Structure 1
Amino acid sequence: MEPKHPADMSTPAGRDTSRLSPSVHGVPVLTVVAHPQLQRVGDRLLLEPLVTDGRPVSLSRNAPDFTRPGGLLSMPLGDPFISRTPVLFEPAPRGGVRVHVPGDSTQVRVAWEPLTGGREFSPEELSVGVPLVLADRVVLLLHRTSALQAPGPEDLGIVGQGEGIRQVRDDITRVADLSIPVLIRGETGTGKELVARAIHERGNRRDGPFVSVNLGALAKDLVSAELFGAQRGAFTGATRDREGFVRAAHGGTLFLDEVGEAPPEVQAALLRVLESGDVIPVGGHEPVRVDVRLVSATDADLESRIQQRLFKAPLLHRLAGFEIQMPPLRARREDIGPLFLHFARQELEATGEAGRLSSSEPRARPWLPADLAVRLVRYAWPGNVRQLRNVARQLVIGSRGMPHLRADARLEQTLDAEALPLPGTALAAPASPELAAPAPEAPEAKAARRKPSDVGEQELLEALRASSWDLKATADWLGIPRPSVYLLIDKSSLIRTARDLSPEEITRCYNECGGDLDQMVQRLEVSKRALQRRVRELGLGA
């Protein structure tokens, strides 16, 4: 093996780079998204010298070593198609990173755009995450992390090492052995029930039942009976006594998903359970004592629903004895590779093809092609982890009997349509003319590039209205990255998202507009794409 350049010694043997000084914040890191040896997915390299003393880091086939967070072994990328001539990562102004590719080094692409010579990536670009493709085989995500502590001994059944998920694990550990109610907030599909189960299994009630109830899926006229039980003859069809989910969870944990959908009478009864521990079955008069721990979850803005008199403020205060915030998948893109591999492994085991993941032939064609990995890591994932699991299943089943995964044209279009672009760039995937999706009309005027923090709530609202709630057109109008539009909408008190709309409101608007999606967008003032997904989920127009 050739001697290492001094800059290659950024992770010398025996040094623990997973635990840095608390004064170091926002260290650039390279995380493996795809590699011909699939066990390498999730390995990472902290580019610590860039921020500690301004030294560059050289990346070649043979050095430096990537380490699995919490793991003991460390190895270089090792792919024989990656050059021994290193690619240089150098510090850039304001905490950015400059990538320099010598002429005789490895071919590097930023998504589908060849990187020749050198290019600087700003802190804003690093916050989104920059997919780097080496030799058309290995995909690395260049991003930043402030979660530099070593991971705990348990993953709690939750895949990922992004700092958002690390915080979730810490929160679970802190609250699991207490008896207080827990409210889990987060977008649909982020894994809120998984967190609830982890709280139950680590708590003092682990030997008791875990009862999971989706309030949004219960018939409105039967919610009270389903939750609190009913006496025989209490209503038409009540031919026997019904225990109810709350009493079924006695001695254990009751998980209420979509708690924001609870009708007013159910909210009042839940408040009684939390305050007194008593349940009164439908048709009954005597309270029944119960001992349950309540963990609830919502993707709705409960504070907004309180203002609209749709949710009781005292109930929110009791539910939120402790809050856990689930990060959306687009905010933890370093976890997409390990999550995809986790779900793909489950599907391969189900189809009897798990051996595909154990190939160690260094020159083999990657089972997860680089271009597909780039599409996965750049997609906005509006359905979050649940959607990623479904895509993994579709890819594995659709590629049965093939040597590598293959996405059909329809899936590629879906992934490309809502890709998160790098700020200030247009990294469109290559597509044949007949497959290319029509580009949205450009707004009449584009603003110069500026900081998202300079955009006020009223200005954002006016830009969304002017752009007919097209988020890409809005981003162009304001001169900010599209990912920033998502973040500004999430923080705004003036703007709702499609996930905030109740099924009843969507159904009513659908009927009043005769199914015209454009009219619905103007009336509800939400993203057309997101509203279309909700309409499909509700089975309207099917």
Structure 2
Amino acid sequence: MDGFSHEGNMADVSTLGAAGRERVQEPRSRLVPALTVVAHALPHRVGERLLLHPVLLGREVAVSRNLPDFQRPGAPLGLPLADPFLSRKPLVFSPAPGEGVRLDPGEGSKVMLGGELLQGPWAFTREEVAEGVVLELAGRVVLVLHLADVQAETADPLGMVGGGVGIQRVRRHIEQVADLHVPVLVRGETGSGKELIARAIHQRSKRRDQAFVSVNLGAIPKELAAAELFGAHKGAYTGATRDREGFFRAAHGGTLFLDEVGEAPPEVQVMLLRVLETGDIYPVGGHTPVATDVRLIAATDAQLEERIQDGRFKAPLLHRLSGYDLRVPPLRERREDIGLLFHHFAREVLEELGEAWRLTPEDASAEPWLPAPLAARLVRYAWPGNIRQLRNLSRQLIIGSRGQPRLRLDPRLEQELEAAQAPRPGRPAVASVSAPEPKAAPRRKASEVTGPELLTALRACAWDLKATADRLGIPRSSIYDLIDRSPNLRTAGDLSVEELTRCYQECGGDLEAMAQRLEVSKRALGRRIKELGLVPGNT
């Protein structure tokens, strides 16, 4: 498909994932369409936004190089986009049915949507806007069309980066519960920042001047968990050569953060329930209760209700832990914040490299250090590892581009950022809105996957790395590490030109057959043969 030449029909709301549905369950009177800058030749412009109030009132909003002003939430003044490569002729945003937003590029700047050129008016449902629509303008500036909370706070005393609806909701929850002496259960996917939330609660509580003790239960051997948490007397078990204080007593008067609480062994669950009910702990090997004064915050990325049904978690403990239940949104629900987060992590790395000047250019006509197509891919990516993955990828990208005038992806990062699914026929992949996928395998650690198991899964999934990761129940990023460590596996980048050319000729350019014969990722293989000037078949 060359582009979009007409106003398309919108995706059925039933195709929107549960995460997307939750995003729009705010009071509609508070949420308005907005445009947020996520990439610009002047990085300090990232995070500025334009509220599209008139669209809700049935009017149009024209956006060009010179008008209107974008500004940070709460700032008294703003500036137009002002990139000299953008057109003076405006893009026009107007109402669409069902509180949606219609975009007409007219004769204004070229707009890339889902990697394709928008050639005519296009409408987005309210649900799609809630998911976040990535707009790339003139190959220079990247905006996200999303819903913004008009009552968002103007400042963030909690040290959290971002101003989207999801993170503002978290801020409100923190303010509501921080000064109370109730346990809090923080739910969220791995890497979504649950410990940061726990620390913010502690810092806003009456215990802020006391200890904050963080414990990852998933990292403690199960046989030592009780002693580590509640302490132990000398001789209580083999290897107990001295009295152990335990994390509860170390956090006395302050806050104890228990991450991965779903991994607590059964006997530890019983002891946690007792301390939540009475405030007393019993050190291992002891018979006298020890009073404690601890504010408990627990976190999990597991569905504890399912574990209760399986008999792996105690229902009374869940009820005690969730004195207040707080959900941290995954990064894919915070697309408008990705630009700010990326530049936050970039500054940390660039300062260490002595290249922080890259984030303070003065010439708006210079080639952006973060190319717009790359920025758009970052925003569209699903981020299964959430903020932790974004931080690690940004470091890899920046260090790998050290000394270069612009950021460039190496082949491995290129693979990692591949879109999970191709666009549906007739419309762009605006926000990864897709039909529900089959239920993935139970989550597990990549270290548990054996070489033969990995090879079997790769073959069963026709070397589709995402499908393989889902089949094995591990993050997709771990697949690359497993392949690198396996002496019997290789990637498309490991293939020689001679082997690729010979296989291409023998398979008649059939990409599917080549991937099966060479046993490498079909997508990565397709890129390699295109680099050689060959034309793949069956793509």
**How would you bin the TM-score normalised by the shorter chain?**
0.7 to 0.9
Distance 1:72 1:117 in 2: 35
CA distance in 1 between partners of 2:374 and 2:365 (Å): 19
Map of 1:508-519 to 2, 5 A cutoff?
516-517=456-457
Q: Quickly say closer, same or farther: Cα 1:497–1:246, change in 2 above 3 A.
A: farther
Q: Please, which of 162, 173, 176 is the counterpart of residue 175 of structure 2?
A: 173
Higher relative contact order (CA 8 A, sep 6+): 2
Q: 1:64 aligns to what?
A: 68
1:316-338: CA deviations, max 9, x gaps? 01100001100011111111111
Map residues 461-476 of structure 1 onto 2, 5 A cutoff. none
Matching residue of 2:308: 306
SS in 2 for 1:75: coil
Q: Within 2, Cα distance between the matches of 1:123 and 1:206?
A: 41
**2:416–2:477: 8 Å Cα contact kept in structure 1?**
no
Cα offset for 1:518? 6.3
What is the SS of the residue equivalent to 1:71? Answer: coil
Hey, what's the Cα distance between the residues in 1 that align with 2:337 and 2:405? 25
User: Which segment drifts farther, 215-224 or 120-129?
Assistant: 120-129
Provide closer, same or farther for how the CA distance between residues 171 and 405 of structure 1 changes in structure 2, counting only shifts above 3 A.
same
Say whether the 8 Å CA contact 2:33–2:145 is kept in structure 1: yes
SS at match of 2:248: helix
After TM superposition, give the deviation of residue 501 of structure 1 in Å: 3.4
2:337 corresponding residue in structure 1 = 335
Unaligned stretches of 5+ residues in structure 2: 1-26, 486-539
Q: Which whole-Å deviations, capped at 9, do the CAs of 1:15-59 have from their partners, x for residues lacking one? A: xxxxxxx7635422111110011011111111111111x111111
SS at match of 1:67: coil
Is 2:87 aligned against 1:83?
A: yes
Aligned to 1:137: 140
Equivalent-residue separation in structure 1 for 2:420 and 2:386 (angstroms): 13
Contact 1:497 1:527 (8 Å CA) reproduced: no
CA distance in 1, matches of 2:311, 2:340: 42
1:483-502 mapped onto 2 (5 Å cutoff): 483-485=433-435, 497-498=440-441, 501=443
Q: CA deviation at 1:100?
A: 1.7
Secondary structure in 1 aligned to 2:169? helix
Distance 2:309 2:340 in 1: 40
**What aligned pairs does 1:74-223 form with structure 2 within 5 A after superposition?**
74-103=78-107, 105-145=108-148, 147-223=149-225
Of the three residues 19, 36, 42, the one matched with 1:37 is: 42
Question: In the alignment, what sits opposite 2:520?
Answer: none
Q: May I ask how many residue pairs the two structures share in their alignment?
A: 452
Work out which of the residue numbers 387, 390, 395 in structure 1 matches 2:389.
387
- 1:416 Cα shift? 1.7
Work out the CA distance in 2 between the residues paired with 1:82 and 1:97.
22
Contact kept, 8 Å, 1:97 with 1:122, in 2: the verdict is yes
**Are 2:114 and 2:428, in contact at CA under 8 Å, matched by a contact in 1?**
no
Q: Distance in 2 between matches of 1:385 and 1:424?
A: 32
Query: Which residue of 1 is the match for residue 528 of structure 2?
Result: none
Unmatched 5+ stretches in structure 1:
1-21, 429-480, 490-494
Distance 1:42 1:424, change over 3 A: farther
Q: Which amino acid aligns with 1:62?
A: N
> CA offset at residue 154 of structure 1?
2.5
| TM-score (ref. length: structure 2) | 0.78
**Partner secondary structure for residue 366 of structure 1:** coil
Partner of 1:321: 323
Q: 1: distance between equivalents of 2:477 and 2:359?
A: 35
Q: Sort the Cα spacing of 1:58 and 1:184 in 2 relative to 1 into closer, same or farther, 3 A.
A: same
Structure 2 CA distance for partners of 1:278 and 1:427, relative to 1, 3 Å: closer
Q: CA offset at residue 176 of structure 1?
A: 0.7
SS of the residue 1:184 aligns to: strand
**Aligned residues of 1:510 and 1:520 also touching (Cα < 8 A):** no
CA distance in 1, matches of 2:459, 2:266: 30
Equivalent position amino acid for 2:323 in 1: G
Question: What letter matches 1:61 in structure 2?
Answer: R
> Could you tell me which amino acid in structure 2 is paired with residue 46 of structure 1?
L
> Conserved in 2, the CA contact under 8 Å of 1:32 and 1:40?
yes
Partner of 2:508 in structure 1? none
Distance 1:328 1:236 in 2: 42
The residue aligned with 2:504 is: none
- 1-structure distance, mates of 2:452, 2:83: 59
Q: In structure 1, how many angstroms separate the alpha carbons of the residues matched to 2:79 and 2:477?
A: 46
Looking at structure 2, the residues matched to 202 and 520 of structure 1 have their Cα atoms a distance apart, in angstroms, of 51
Verify the 8 A CA contact 1:189 1:383 in the aligned structure 2: yes
1:328-372 deviations in Å (ceiling 9; x for gaps): 111111111111111111111121211111112111110110010
Partner SS for 1:24: helix
2:292 aligns with 290
